[in-house]
Structure 1
Amino acid sequence: MVHHLDIKTAGTALNEAAKVLIMIHGRGGRAEDILGLTQHLNVGGYALLAPQATNHTWYPKSFIAPAEQNEPWLSSAINIVATTVKAAIDAGITSENIYFFGFSQGACLTLEYITRNARKFGGVVAIIGGVIGEKINRANYGGDFQQTPVFIGTSTPDFHVPIERVFETENILKEMNAVVNLQVYENAGHAINQEEIEWANKILS
C-alpha cells in the first residue's frame, strides 16, 4: 500500500497567498490535527497545506530501521511532500516563500525531504525528528539551503528519536548551508512545548 494524494487545506486560498506552510503530521496522526496547531502560529496570509498519510502512517518501521524495511512507503511519502511543494510552486509561490512544520514522524519526513532537495526555503520547523535510515546515506542529500532558517526542537531522552541522530542531522544541515537552531529540552516528553511554538513563530513571522 502506497500513499494516495490527499492534501487538506486551510488559511488563505493558495492562489491568493504570498506564503505557504506545509504541515506534516506524525505517526497515527491526521492532517486536520496538525492544521489545528495553527491557532498558535503566526500564519496570517499563509496558505496551509497538510497532506494526509494513508492509514495515518508515513512509513511502518522506526525512522532508524534499515531503509529497505520502510519501502515502498518512505519513497511514496517523500513523493507526497514533493507533490505538495509542486502544488505551491505551480500556484506561483517561490521556494523562498515555502515553509515547513513537521512533528515526530512528520518531522523526520520533513527533514529527509528538505535535505534531498535543498534550496532556499522560507524556513523549517521540525519537532522531534532527524534524517531517516539505519545509517545516514549522505549521497542522498544535495543542494544548498542558502541560509534557510531551520528550527529543531527535541526532548532528551526520547523513546523514538535518539539525540545522536538529531545532532547528526544538525551537522548535515549546517554543511548544506542552513542556519540551524537546535533546542534540546530535558525530559519534555514526546510533545510540542510552548517555547517551541515561540521559536516556530520567529521563523514564520
Structure 2
Amino acid sequence: MTPSPTEWGAPADRAAPAVLAVHGRGQDPAFMRATAERFGTTPARFFAPEAEGNTWYPRSFLEPVERNQPALDRSVRVLEACLDRLAGAGFGSERVVLWGFSQGACLLSHLVLSRPRPSAGLILFTGGYLGTTPPTPDEKALRGVPVVLRSIEDDPWVPRHRVEETAALLQQAGAEVDLRIDPGTDHIITDEACATATKLLNAVASAG
C-alpha cells in the first residue's frame, strides 16, 4: 500500500487547486513544504509523497531509462496513486497542479511526457525528461496546460540543453511553456521561480 502523502496548506474543503509536490534526490516532503513557504499565501492544498530511501530512481536521469528500472516504474505508480487519491477527494485533474524539483521535476517530466494525463498546471524546477531518447507525446496531449520551467545555466546535475529540449517537447504536446534559465552554478530554486509558481497557482484558483 502506498503511504499517505504529507499534507499542508489551505483546508482541503476550501482549497482551489491541489498541488502534488515531488521532492528531489536525498530530500523529503519537508523540503517541499519549506520551499512552498517561499510562495507566500496561496489558496492551494499541498500533497507530497515520499520516495523510498528519499530517491525516486537510482541513477542519473540522463542514462537510458532501463538503467533506472524497476524503481522508475514503481515511482510513477506512486504518483499515479496519489493522483487517484486526490481525484477521490474531489480534486479532479482540472484542479491539480504538478510541482517538482530536481529528481522530482525529472520524474514529473517523465510522467507527463510518457503517460500524459490532464492537469491544471505544471511547475518544474531544474529537471527534464528521462533517458537518452526523447519521448514523443501526442501533439494534443497537454493542450493549454500552463508550465513554469526554471533552471540554472550551469547546474551541476541538470544540463541546460536537457531543460530546453524538455521545454520544446512540452510545447509540441500543446503546453504553454514559460521557460527561464538564470545564470549561476548552484542547484537552487530562485525567488523568481517561487514568485512565478505563486502566480500560476493563483491563476488556476481564479480560473476554477
TM-score, normalised on structure 2? 0.89
Supply the AA of the counterpart residue of 1:35: R
Supply the AA of the counterpart residue of 1:111: S
Say if 2:124 is the partner of 1:126: yes
Count of aligned positions: 201
- Note the alpha carbon deviations across 1:29-57, whole angstroms, 9 max, x for none: 01122112221225533221000000000
Q: Is the 8 A contact 2:20 2:97 kept in 1?
A: yes
Query: Pairwise mapping of residues 91-170 of structure 1 onto structure 2 (< 5 A)?
Result: 91-138=89-136, 141-142=137-138, 144-170=141-167
Q: Percent identity?
A: 28
Change (3 A) 1:149 1:120: same
> Which of 81, 84, 103 is the aligned partner of 1:83?
81
Q: Is the 8 A contact 1:118 1:176 kept in 2?
A: no
Cα deviation for residue 94 of structure 1 reads: 1.9
Supply the AA of the counterpart residue of 2:18: V
Say if 2:188 is the partner of 1:191: yes
Q: Is the 8 A contact 2:128 2:166 kept in 1?
A: yes
1 CA distance for matches of 2:115 and 2:86?
Answer: 15
The residue aligned with 1:41 is 39
The residue aligned with 1:27 is 25
TM-score, normalised on structure 1? 0.90
Cα deviation for residue 71 of structure 1 reads: 0.5
1 CA distance for matches of 2:182 and 2:44?
Answer: 29
Cα deviation for residue 15 of structure 1 reads: 5.0
Supply the AA of the counterpart residue of 1:185: D
Q: Any idea what SS the aligned residue of 1:168 has?
A: helix
Q: Any idea what SS the aligned residue of 2:26 has?
A: coil
Q: Is the 8 A contact 1:156 1:187 kept in 2?
A: yes
Structure 1: where are the runs of 5+ without partners?
Answer: none
> Which of 174, 177, 199 is the aligned partner of 1:180?
177
Q: Is the 8 A contact 1:15 1:91 kept in 2?
A: no
Cα deviation for residue 187 of structure 1 reads: 1.2
Q: Which runs of 4+ in 1 moved over 6 A?
A: none
RMSD of Structure 2 on Structure 1 (CA): 1.8
Cα deviation for residue 19 of structure 1 reads: 1.8
1 CA distance for matches of 2:177 and 2:15?
Answer: 26
- Note the alpha carbon deviations across 1:154-198, whole angstroms, 9 max, x for none: 111122111111111111101111000110111151100111111
Q: Is the 8 A contact 2:125 2:150 kept in 1?
A: yes
Q: Is the 8 A contact 2:21 2:47 kept in 1?
A: yes
Supply the AA of the counterpart residue of 1:204: L
